[in-house]
A and B are shown apart, each in its own frame.
Chain A
Amino acid sequence: MTRRWSEEVTHHGETPLAISAPDQLSSINININRRFHPTSALNTQIMEGLFFNIHSGYVEGIVRGYRNSLLTSSNYSNLTQCETLEDLKLQLTPSYGEQLANVASPFPTSTIAAKATEKLVQDFRYLRAQATGALAKFMDFLTYSYMIDNVALLITGTLHERDTKDLLERCHPLGFFEGLPALCVASNIEELYSIVLVETPLAPFFKDNLRSADLDELNIEIVRNTLYKSYLEAFHDFCTTDPALSGTPSAELMSDILGFEADRRAINITLNSFGTELSKSDRKKLYPEIGKLHPEGTLMLSRADDPEAVRLAIEIVGEYRYFFDQGGIGQGGGGIGGGTQKSLEDIFYQKEMELAKGTFTHHFTFAVVYAWLKLQEQEIRNITWIAECIAQNQKDRIGNYISVF
């Protein structure tokens, strides 16, 4: 609907100005022509900005406000200088004061993570309540990834004979859905689908994933990653083809972000699968069919046997190649995660955060919600990391957090 209006407005709005511009309007006219001219898509885009605020302006405004309250590098440097968790708590008061206020003094680092997540959930729910139309659907898509994690958590826990109640408490609140507790009854993938997931938003992601296999660790991993693959593709599809989104900055930004996410997953899956029982053919099915690496890169990734082969596969994308050279991979014994050098994972997170930060330079886009969510999640990870380093009195690596502001 919005789009049709905007097209009309574009049409009517541009022509009269161009034809009957009096002298005083001529400069505006030139301006408008310069900005509006090249393609009609761009045309639509800009004019749509005029109407974006009717539905989603408030949410966008709020998100930008949230973004301003994210911790900056000076905040982080203050945090890293804390000597005890108590100090850390004090430093976090401006952002997380409300959540941390009632935490009794000797507390484990996990409490900080839990409390910070609480805030994230609260903020997200507020936004979701305000969202309508395409934005509401967009935000629902954001929650699906949490649902997938919860499904994996629950079926893994059931396999490990953990207490269901315990497990439900551990589930991410954003990924909670009605049938979640019932997941525990499933013993194979087919049951999982037909008993529980068919009723949930995750059902479409199962379409190519259905096979009657027992739920063991390997299959759970496969289910999780195939679900995630389908999710990313569906989300990408939604962002680029939905009438309310196609041709808008949202589509463009989300396509980039999701493409990057897909590539990162493909690379991580490949690297982490070395030395596991995940077969190459199974692995190939887990690569999302979007992103810069698809199709050549993923094909090469699917044949990779060692980090060196991964490097070859991703050479087609200059940026990733640079990441590889930067990151500590392929240096004998799989040096990821260790040492003082930044790991490949860290570099990917850094890149993701920069993409998210860049999103805020655009206006009239849903992508800011996604970006904020990612930035906030990273912030929680950063805080937990710093808290962990403080608690363990290991200050050498405390600076490994990722901050972009």
Chain B
Amino acid sequence: MATQHELDELQDKLNNLIINYLDLFDKYQASRAEISRALSDGFLNLAQANFNAPNRVRYGQDMYDNRMQALRGVGIAVNETDVTAYILKDLTSPPEVVDSEKADLEAPSNLDGPDIGPEKEEVSEIVGQGDHDTPKERPDDSDAALTLANPKADPLRWFGILRPMALGTAQKNFLHSLPPIMELVSTLSDIEYHEKDIRSLSQKVRKMREELGINFIDEPVEETATISELDKLSISKDGAGDEAIEDHRLEDKKSHNQQPEKPAETPSKE
């Protein structure tokens, strides 16, 4: 038979969980904001590069390299609490790797859904950081993230050697959108994990209250609905962007499908 004390303990635990859960939501929204800022800056700089194009070149997918290969992959690690962490991985083996997908047009397609699988992500071009081949936690040092192990692999080269600086800025913007995307995905899986906990805990609490004969007015949390609504909301927000982006996305998906094989980088470590 449950006691009042046990119930209080459980309720405290539940409260803490919910607080954590809300913190995660905050983090989620922050990541979203960061991603959209990076992407919109990137697209605007891309437009600026086109505006300043010295040779009447239209910088975009017209100049993609068909031999492109992924520069970056996503590693999935599951930690002891069953929370999946998504980690950016450097795929460049220094000298001979060619090029990868261009991030600018690629990145938005990553946002299509909240649960971006690794197989979708890996093509995202984020430039390798120095020489390390081991998976690295989000690169917070943005400068380090912009140097290439193999400069010849830099997709900017597709657009010629003497390209407008705005194009480089655009690349950096798109690049900077990748770590928050990883964060977003990790946060999402964390949220999911919390949801499960909260649900089971609140069920326990409810049972205990019934046993103790306490009437409760507060409904059990309905996070599942909230979360999926939130995602839907953000998707439609992204989707309702502009036609140009939409266009790129479509084309991008096409180019995805054309990719011969995707180096699915999923070294899970317990």
For A218, give its contact among B67, B161, B163, B247 (CB under 8 Å).
B161
How far is the CB of A391 from the nearest CB of chain B, in Å? 3
Whether the pair B161, A278 counts as a contact (CB closer than 8 A) is yes
Whether the pair B55, A152 counts as a contact (CB closer than 8 A) is yes
Say yes or no for B166: interface residue by CB 8 A criterion: yes
Residue of A nearest to B173 (CB): A338
Chain B residues in 8 Å Cβ range of A107: 243
What number of A residues sit within 8 Å (CB to CB) of B? 54
Most buried by A among B44, B60, B67, B241: B44
Chain B residues in 8 Å Cβ range of A276: 161-162
Chain A residues in 8 Å Cβ range of B247: 108, 110
Residue of B nearest to A346 (CB): B52
Chain A residues in 8 Å Cβ range of B48: 337-338, 385, 397, 400
Whether the pair A337, B43 counts as a contact (CB closer than 8 A) is no
Within 8 A of A (CB), among B4-44: 40, 43-44
How does the 8 Å CB contact mask read for B44-78 relative to A, with 1 for contact and 0 for none?
11011111101111101011111100000000000
Say yes or no for A170: interface residue by CB 8 A criterion: yes
| Cα-based distance from A172 to B56 in the complex (angstroms) | 9
Most buried by B among A170, A272, A384, A400: A272
What number of B residues sit within 8 Å (CB to CB) of A? 40
For B157, give its contact among A157, A217, A384 (CB under 8 Å).
A217
Q: Give the segment of A196-204, A220-228, A247-255, A359-367 that binds chain B.
A: A220-228
Chain A residues in 8 Å Cβ range of B56: 146, 149, 172, 377
Question: What's the dominant secondary structure at chain B's contact region?
Answer: helix
Chain A residues in 8 Å Cβ range of B193: none
Whether the pair B164, A345 counts as a contact (CB closer than 8 A) is yes
Chain A residues in 8 Å Cβ range of B260: none
Chain A residues in 8 Å Cβ range of B157: 217
How far is the CB of B208 from the nearest CB of chain A, in Å? 51
| Cα-based distance from A269 to B162 in the complex (angstroms) | 7
Contact A388 to B47, CB < 8 A, known contacts A217-B158, A217-B161, A272-B163? yes
Whether the pair A217, B66 counts as a contact (CB closer than 8 A) is no
Chain B residues in 8 Å Cβ range of A149: 55-57
Chain B residues in 8 Å Cβ range of A146: 56
How far is the CB of A111 from the nearest CB of chain B, in Å? 9
Residue of B nearest to A270 (CB): B162
Whether the pair B66, A393 counts as a contact (CB closer than 8 A) is no
Whether the pair B244, A338 counts as a contact (CB closer than 8 A) is no
Within 8 A of A (CB), among B123-163: 151, 157-158, 160-163
Whether the pair A268, B54 counts as a contact (CB closer than 8 A) is yes
Whether the pair B58, A113 counts as a contact (CB closer than 8 A) is yes
For B242, give its contact among A152, A338, A343, A392 (CB under 8 Å).
A392
Say yes or no for B264: interface residue by CB 8 A criterion: no
- In the complex, given contacts A388-B51, A392-B40, A392-B47, what are 15 additional A-B residue pairs having Cβ atoms less than 8 angstroms apart? A85-B243, A108-B246, A109-B243, A217-B161, A225-B162, A265-B54, A269-B162, A278-B162, A336-B164, A343-B166, A345-B164, A384-B51, A388-B50, A391-B243, A392-B44
Interface residues of chain B, those whose CB is within 8 Å of chain A, are 40, 43-45, 47-52, 54-58, 60, 62-67, 151, 157-158, 160-166, 169, 241-247
Interface residues of chain A, those whose CB is within 8 Å of chain B, are 85, 106-110, 113, 146, 149, 152-153, 156-157, 160-162, 170, 172, 217-218, 220-221, 224-225, 265, 268-269, 271-273, 276-278, 334, 336-338, 343, 345-346, 349, 377, 381, 384-385, 388-394, 397, 400
